[in-house]
Amino acid sequence: MENIVVERFLKYVSYNTQSDPESSLSPSSEGQTKFGKRLAEELVRIGLSEVEVDWNGYVMATLPANMERSVPVVGFIAHMDTSPDCSGKNVRPQLIEPYQGGDLILNEEKNIVLSSQRFPEILRYKGERLIVTDGTTLLGADDKAGLAEIVTAMEYLLAHPEIKHGKIRIAFTPDEEIGRGADHFYVPKFGADFAYTMDGGELGELQYENFNAASARVVFHGVNVHPGSAKDKMRNSMLVANRFLSGLPGREVPEHTENYEGFFHLTKFEGRVDRTEIEFIIRDFDRQSFEGRKSRMEEMVKKINLEHGEPVAEISIKDQYYNMKEKIDPQFYIVELAKEAMISCNIEPKIVPVRGGTDGSRLSYMGLPCPNIFGGGHNFHGEFEFIPTKSMESACRVIVAIASKVTEL
């Protein structure tokens, strides 16, 4: 399957499907709409049924059961968009076969090098085939690897009817990278008992925990007068905002946290003397600690207002998604099923938390428990993204193994 999934992936990355956070449409970019139609045509061509692209750009299809006994319906999900953090236009992937070790020159003209010192994980793939960028765009393995792996696995199952499986549903979603991937996902119509997003990283990753997430916006109001006559009159909103920031724990930020550690992440600071606006994302795996982080920020705003004797600061906090562990734990057999499938493919499962969110986290709260499985890529959202081709083939084999093992439930 390796050559087939690689060929498919290389075609997929030629489509510019960057999502657009400034757009209110679904999909948010024309490239996703075109790509979705292209995928639907391909699904029909390989022999899937009930292929549909709905008016919000979601692609769904069915691989019918090839056995009489009724078994649970499993779903596989990937997203079509790529991150707006780095250009996805005119992606020029390079196939390194085999990788000899050390640094990789991605773009000699522009002196762009994938450093094995900065990204030492690449050394684990010495002797394997790698797909890399030309140093000027992202690659798009997040999540076109997942797309290619699902389609290739479905094609393989169609070509091998001796592998018994129940009904399988697949879905390709738009706008996951801007947090809207599940906005218009109609779970009852999808009709799966459980599903897996193929949206993870390196070989063997299996994830059923993710951050609880919220966004926070704090506005500070100042008073601006001529600095020559400002004594006891001016209130510099930027300095008030700075005092607020100094009250947050300095080490609880993304650059100093890992594993199950949460953080406050300052994403915007725009200020003048009379008005300053700051924005954060708040992340924590533990729900109680997550609520505590939000409360802490609200109390800090109250304290500032009390100190000034008037409302100089205001805060608004919006929850974004929650830890899917709460919804998956009661049906933990679906995690065990994926583990057994990996082991049957001689892949060591690596249970790690998602330090972010996936479509699966929201879908789990919408009634579709949905752990996340590796797609094989590294260094997503940037020009140093790469993917080993053997990892892509392994993901295909895991999908096939899951489909087969569902018949044992």
pTM given for the model: 0.90
Domain boundary among 320, 345, 371: 320
Please state the rounded mean pLDDT for residues 222-250: 96
Q: Is the pLDDT of residue 179 over 90?
A: no
Ramachandran sector of residue 280 (left: φ over 0; alpha: ψ -120 to 50; beta: rest):
beta
Q: Is the pLDDT of residue 176 over 90?
A: yes
What's residue 315's pLDDT?
A: 98
What's residue 229's pLDDT?
A: 95
Kindly state whether residues 187 and 100 are assigned to the same domain: yes
Kindly state whether residues 146 and 278 are assigned to the same domain: no
Kindly state whether residues 177 and 202 are assigned to the same domain: yes
- Whole-angstrom CA distances from 307 to 149, 216, 232, 279 are 57, 22, 15, 22
Q: Is the pLDDT of residue 273 over 90?
A: yes
Kindly state whether residues 96 and 26 are assigned to the same domain: yes
Kindly state whether residues 151 and 7 are assigned to the same domain: yes
Kindly state whether residues 161 and 186 are assigned to the same domain: yes
Kindly state whether residues 250 and 377 are assigned to the same domain: no
Catalytic residue at 175? Answer: no
Q: pLDDT tier at 356 (50, 70, 90 boundaries)?
A: confident
Q: Are 357 and 200 in contact (CB under 8 A)?
A: no
Please state the rounded mean pLDDT for residues 247-265: 96
Please state the rounded mean pLDDT for residues 277-291: 97
Q: Which of 42, 81, 142, 209 is catalytic?
A: 81
Q: What CATH number should be reported for the domain holding residue 48? A: 3.40.630.10
Kindly state whether residues 298 and 338 are assigned to the same domain: no
Q: Is the pLDDT of residue 336 over 90?
A: yes
Please state the rounded mean pLDDT for residues 301-311: 96
What's residue 149's pLDDT?
A: 98
Kindly state whether residues 340 and 269 are assigned to the same domain: no
Please state the rounded mean pLDDT for residues 379-391: 97
Kindly state whether residues 258 and 346 are assigned to the same domain: no
Q: pLDDT tier at 357 (50, 70, 90 boundaries)?
A: confident
Q: Are 304 and 244 in contact (CB under 8 A)?
A: yes
Q: What is the pLDDT of residues 118-174, one digit of tens each?
A: 999 999 999 999 999 999 999 999 999 999 999 999 999 999 999 999 999 999 999
Catalytic residue at 176? Answer: yes
Please state the rounded mean pLDDT for residues 40-60: 98
Look up the domain containing 302 and give its range: 216-320
Kindly state whether residues 61 and 108 are assigned to the same domain: yes
Q: What is the pLDDT of residues 25-36, one digit of tens each?
A: 999 999 999 999
Q: Which of 84, 81, 76, 75 is nearest to 174 (CA)?
A: 81
Instruction: Find the helix or strand (DSSP H, E) in which 221 lies.
Output: strand 212-221
What's residue 206's pLDDT?
A: 97
Residues in Cβ contact with 186 at an 8 Å cutoff, skipping those fewer than 6 apart: none
Kindly state whether residues 226 and 348 are assigned to the same domain: no
Please state the rounded mean pLDDT for residues 37-59: 98
Domain total for the chain?
2
User: Mean pLDDT in the chain?
Assistant: 96
Triad 371, 8, 76: Cα angle to 5°: 20
CA distance 191 to 387: 32
Q: Which of 20, 42, 142, 176 is catalytic?
A: 176
β-pair type (212-221, 275-284): antiparallel
Q: What CATH number should be reported for the domain holding residue 308? A: 3.30.70.360
